[in-house]
Amino acid sequence: MTFLIHILDGNNFMVTDRRGDIENSLTFPTGLFSFDTRFLSTWVLTLNDERLYALSIDERSTFQTHYFLVPGEPTHYADAKLSVLRHRAIDGQLAETLTLLNHSSEEVVPTIRIEMASDFADLLDIKHDRLKVGETTVLTEERRLRLVYRRESFHRETVISVETEGDVTVDQNGMTFRPWVGPHGEWRARFSVRMHILGAYGKDFRESLPIEANRPAADVRQEREELIRQAPRLACDGEPLSTAYHVSLQDLAALRYHSITLGQPLLAAGLPWYMTLFGRDSMIAALQALPFLPTVIPPTLGVLAGLQGSRLDDFRDEEPGKILHELRYGESAGFEDQPHSPYYGSADSSPLFVILLDEYQRWTGDTKLVRRLEFAARAALDWIDSYADLLGNGYVWYQSRNSDTGLPNQCWKDSPESISYADGRLPGFPRAVCEHQGYAYDAKIRGARMARKFWRDPTLADRLEREAAALKERFNRDFWIADREYYALALDADGKQVDALASNMGHLLWSGIVPEDRAATVAAHLLGPRLFSGWGVRTLATEQGRYNPVGYHVGTVWPFDNSLIAWGLWRYGLREEAGRICQVLLDASKFFGGRLPEAFAGYDRRLTGYPVEYPTACSPQAWSAGTPLLLLRVMLGLEPHDEHLIIDPYVPAGLGRIELLNIPGAWGRVDALGRARTDHEPPLPGTDPGEASGPTGAVPTD
């Protein structure tokens, strides 16, 4: 079944089928959600005891949807006498209007019924198929149904009310209507579903939040629209790029949410499972979006710094200096059934914090944030050299401190089977995956830059640069599989190479830890037939023991993964290879309406002719939404240098002309132009990738 997701401000979202119905599911998060709790688990409309069929759906907006419905399954001779218009909007609450239309010349008295229920399930309980502990009470009132859930001090309520003409029968399972509708007449009912997050004194927690987190939804929507207006304007010949760009901006703006405790707008990782702050995901999405929406970065970095690990806590995998992995607000976190309040089970979020902070400063020129977050950045760097180095050999290792509920794999491929030998065997713990060493190398280089330029600590800068050089040398000795000419996916606890061929190598190019003379060889593997599907680079190569084209991390194509690979190829001057990844991902985006999903299947393009959907992929997801933005940066060759923007375009054939106007940064606002090269066309002035480029490549606009 295909599901629709409606969101407003990131705090509230709804997942339904194509009729607009919610049927209770313990395995997929259909429902109405707020702050990790499902407030509606059943919302099923029937007309004369029949389910309805959607003739058309208007889902262009992220916060409202129109359904045009008729009873029963249509046939070629169907002539519906009744139809229903269903308009839904999430505006801090759920508002739904039903309009019944009588198309006949006779009066009708139909029976209209909506089944209503809430299990108040925690999103993590749905994901892990766990039963509830507390009790739900259903209270019926005139034109109102009140659903109450309590577990000790944990108190949530759903209050459903209706405004309509005529009588309403309210029972514990929903509401029934029998309106009189005249010939060619109509009947209307307006439903309001309010979600209450109540504290010990019966007040909603959100009433005490800072004003920024407690504004009317209309204000939040206006802020979102203003954020999008501040982004650079794209003019291009390629329709897929244009669509993907605008969808990405809309989705990233919509994925911002206001923390229930922190009161700042943060970038959530994605719907439906990850509507919260994730260290790794939120920071990578911020890196992708930086040239376009730089204002989303400071709140994300500030909150991550504020929640940085300060002690040893085995339950939460917390360590001093460690940046969190995931922050949850639901029942399972509150009662410590799960360690997500917050949870620190990722070994890459700390180096990524340093990388994002430095990249943000390089792009915006904002030195104040770098100085304000100096302590947090230093602590993250210290974590790399202390708690991350479990075996004392200078590598970043991971092994959960919490064997019961902690994540075994603490890299971006965090599913159980994602790290394997080529023959499919799984290594023991601890593990040192290759990309974490690249991130650590990059973090040390960037940390040295910030220490020398902004923290007035040349001694630290010199030490970090020495450590980075030693790490690069050691890494290229221990991870390089000489007879196969690619990098091992990881080292096992005995220091042996975990030799699966995987996409992780592309992250090494992005980090810069690969020697120049090996870059082309790595690229040949990434774009070779075992890893490259024609729609992108697979997470795991064919012929590997655990390869599965519809396996979550063992053969699917992840757009964000490919965007970092393209960025890495660009870094090493492999512009044609980078452009090829950009081109195929934009091709794929056409099949998803411009919204790249979390992942799609790794089937060969020649076999399917279209990218096959992964059944439970998140969409929208932040780092997938950020992918077209990073691809645009790669194609235009955008790179900050002091207070200038270098523009060095290499646009793949078929994309035509690209103009990105009003790019924000330390330089003010500039325009970038690029055009696809053909054999019979001379290069545009200043766009030949072979020419030296510099600050003069930027066209100032103010």
Shared-domain flag, residues 648 and 598: no
- Looking at residue 366, its pLDDT comes to 97
- Per-residue pLDDT tens for 203-234? 776 666 554 445 566 776 787 888 899 999 99
* Residues in CB range of 460: below 8 A, 6 or more apart: 378, 447, 448, 451
| Angle between helix 434-453 and helix 374-385 axes, rounded to 10 deg | 140
The DSSP line for 70-131 is EES---TT---SEEEEEEEEESSSEEEEEEEEE-SSS-B---EEEEEE----BHHHHHHT--
Residue 99 has pLDDT above 90, yes or no: yes
* pLDDT at residue 655 tops 70: yes
d(C-alpha 387, C-alpha 381), whole Å: 11
Structural domain for 442, as ranges = 211-636
Please indicate, yes or no, whether residues 96 and 222 belong to a single structural domain of this protein: no
pLDDT (0 to 100) of residue 136 = 86
250 near 228, Cβ under 8 Å? yes
Choice between 353 and 11, residue whose per-residue pLDDT is larger: 353
Strands (E), 486-587: 486-487, 490-491, 497-498
Instruction: Give 461-505 as a 3 state SS string.
Output: HHHHHHHHHHHHHHHHHHCEECCCCEECCEECCCCCEECCCECCH
Q: What is the mean pLDDT of residues 609-621?
A: 88
- Domain end: 582, 617, 636, which one? 636
Question: What pTM does this model have?
Answer: 0.90
Query: For residue 335, what is the domain's CATH number?
Result: 1.50.10.10
Residues 188 and 217 in one domain: no
Q: What is the CA radius of gyration of the chain?
A: 27
Task: Say whether 311 sits in a helix, a strand or coil.
Answer: coil
Asked whether residue 657 falls in the same domain as residue 678, the answer is yes
Mean model confidence pLDDT for the chain: 89
More confident residue, 458 or 7: 458
Q: What is the mean pLDDT of residues 349-367?
A: 98
Query: According to the model, what pLDDT value does residue 1 have?
Result: 41
**Number of other CB atoms surrounding residue 229 within 10 Å:** 9
Residues 630 and 645 in one domain: no
Q: What is the mean pLDDT of residues 625-650?
A: 97
Nearest to 114 by CA among 38, 190, 185, 33: 190
pLDDT of residue 34 exceeding 80, the answer is yes
160 and 238 together in one domain: no
45-77 residue pLDDT tens: 999 999 998 888 887 777 788 999 998 776 644
Last residue of a domain, one of 189, 208, 227: 208
Per residue in 533-554, pLDDT tens? 999 999 999 999 999 999 999 9
Are residue 615 and residue 701 in the same domain, yes or no? no
Write down the pLDDT at residue 8.
Answer: 60
Comparing 684 with 328, the larger pLDDT belongs to 328
Residue showing tokens 């839904």? 88
Which residues does residue 515 pair with via DSSP β-bridges, in sequence order? none
What share of the chain in percent tops pLDDT 90? 71
Provide CB contacts within 8 A for 206, sequence distance 6+: 197, 213, 214, 260
pLDDT exceeds 70 at position 628: yes
Residue 631 sits in the same domain as residue 647: no
Report whether pLDDT(244) > 80.
Answer: yes
Least confident of 83-87, 220-224, 301-305, 355-359: 220-224
Last residue of a domain, one of 208, 226, 245: 208
> pLDDT value at position 156?
92
Angle CA 577–582–585, to nearest 5? 125
* Confidence at 263, pLDDT banded by 50, 70, 90: low
